[in-house]
Amino acid sequence: MNSIYKLVCLAAAFMVSASGFAQTASGQSGLAQNNCSTKKDCPTVTCMKKQPCDPFEQGMPLPCGKYPCAYNAPAGICLRNAWDFDIFGSFIYWYATQDDMDIAFVSPTFSIDPTVSHGGSVLYQRFNYEPGFKVGFGFNTDYDNWAFRAEYTWLHETINTGATSAPVLPTGVAGVWSANDWFAEPTVEDVAATAPAFASTWKLKLDMVDAGMTRPFYEGTRLTVTPFGGLRGLWLRQKMNVSALDATGATVSTSNSRSNSWAVGPATGVGGHWLLGGGFRFEGNAMASLLYTRYTKISVTESDLGVLAVSSSVRDVSAVRPIAQLNVGIGWGMYFHGCSSDTYLDISLDYEFLEFWNQNMMRNFDSQLLGFADDIGDLQMHGLTATVRFDF
């Protein structure tokens, strides 16, 4: 009985404290209640259009009685006589890399003592920062201060790994590369296994569309939070061409692998702005999506001295693939001629990180033709995103 009594008292105390926390921490309403005790403390609402909108001066309490308890004050851009429409564009400079993109290796040699290794070497596909862009638009709705937002991301790149000679072994003997799983046909692999040099080309085409609803709101006088929910569409195409070269630089064996896919699924995330004053801010966003993915074609074609040796493909492979995205950065925004203006300009600079799970289906398919299955490597991207947004 004692335990039940203590449990009831603890639950009652928790409910009282939770109700008090909701009044002060659920948004601006608690702050307005505590700080708007007299009329002179209330800031004047001067931003008007067809209906009064909700201007907010950073660091100041909300107008007295403006919002009911537990209602988070909206933090969207407030314009007078405007369409409530915005457009934006971003220049991206991202570094794309992928797991399991090694091309060939040099086997270690041994001295008289077979337990002593003289090392080896591995040749990897080269990666680099490449430019791309984003474009999008949004508009505010009359439903509880929610807004619609759509964005398209484009990143297409072709990266070459120049002809690379095998290193000289510690014994003084010139090394030769050994082909790895990119070569599945035994006769082609045998020729490639004695090649003194290799070269490769990786082509990546990413097109991504995000669309959904968001509602920015104040969580304190200098912190805004922006939840997001919607759909993401992804089109991803990859090609990996590997060439084994002889001593003169002529191609003796080639392997051409390809993967084409489209994907769609739900996406959700949250962003935050830490307002510094003068229009400046720190910002960060986190987003996750889970996409139904359809690999419309996965193929490999190999040739030996220009003669086709093998061509194999598989179509319509389905899977579910997650994507994680995170960015942090700084921004600055300004109303033209104050809150009574019809336009707003915003500039931001962020560094983004993206993880696309299990996307190297090319290498996985090649290894299956050899009688085993490599792990499906992830695709990663990171880099700078510079954005300009205009509200009108």
Q: Determine the Cα–Cα distance for residues 321 and 357; give it in Å rounded to an integer.
A: 6
Looking at per-residue pLDDT, the higher value among 114 and 10 belongs to 114
Residue 203 has pLDDT above 60, yes or no: yes
**Amino acid identity of 197?**
A
User: Which residue from 203, 209, 207 is spatially nearest to 261, judged by alpha carbons?
Assistant: 207
SS (H, E, C) the chain: CHHHHHHHHHHHHHHHHHHHHHHHHCCHHHHHHHHCCCHHHCCCCCCECCCECCCCCCCCCCCCCCCCCCCCCECCCCCCCCCCEEEEEEEEEEEEEECCCEEEEECCCECCCCCCECCCEEEECCCCEEEEEEEEEEEECCCCCCEEEEEEEEEEEEEEEEEEECCECCCCCECCEEECCCCCCHHHHHHHCCECEEEEEEEEEEEEEEEEEECCEECCCCEEEEEEEEEEEEEEEEEEEEEEECCCCCEEEEEEEEEEEEEEEEEEEEEEEEEEECCEEEEEEEEEEEEEEEEEEEEEEEEECCEEEEEEEECCEEEEEEEEEEEEEEEEEEECCCCCCCCEEEEEEEEEEEEECCCCHHHHHHHHHCCCCCCCCCEEEEEEEEEEEEEC
Q: Write out pLDDT tens, residues 61-112.
A: 555 556 666 678 788 887 776 778 999 999 999 999 999 999 888 865 544 4
Residue 378 has pLDDT above 90, yes or no: yes
Q: Look at residue 106 in the predicted model and tell me its pLDDT.
A: 80
Q: Write out pLDDT tens, residues 7-20.
A: 444 444 433 333 33
Q: Look at residue 139 in the predicted model and tell me its pLDDT.
A: 92
- Mean pLDDT over 247-266 rounds to 92
Q: Look at residue 64 in the predicted model and tell me its pLDDT.
A: 53
CB atoms within 10 A of CB 72: 18
Q: Determine the Cα–Cα distance for residues 298 and 376; give it in Å rounded to an integer.
A: 13
Mean pLDDT check: name the lowest of 42-56, 95-109, 196-210, 249-263. Answer: 42-56
Residue 46 has pLDDT above 90, yes or no: no
- Which CATH code is given to the segment(s) 85-391? 2.40.128
- Mean pLDDT over 166-181 rounds to 72
Q: Write out pLDDT tens, residues 275-317.
A: 998 899 999 999 999 999 999 999 999 887 767 777 899 999 9
Q: Look at residue 44 in the predicted model and tell me its pLDDT.
A: 39
pTM (2 d.p.): 0.79
Q: Look at residue 29 in the predicted model and tell me its pLDDT.
A: 30
Q: Determine the Cα–Cα distance for residues 138 and 215; give it in Å rounded to an integer.
A: 12
Q: Which two tokens stand for residue 335?
A: 């109303």
Domain map (residue ranges) of the chain: 1-64, 85-391
Average pLDDT, the chain: 80
Q: Write out pLDDT tens, residues 216-228.
A: 998 888 899 999 9
Q: Look at residue 372 in the predicted model and tell me its pLDDT.
A: 82
Provide the percentage of residues in the chain whose pLDDT is more than 90: 47
**Amino acid identity of 375?**
D
The answer to whether 57 touches 45, Cβ cutoff 8 Å, is: no
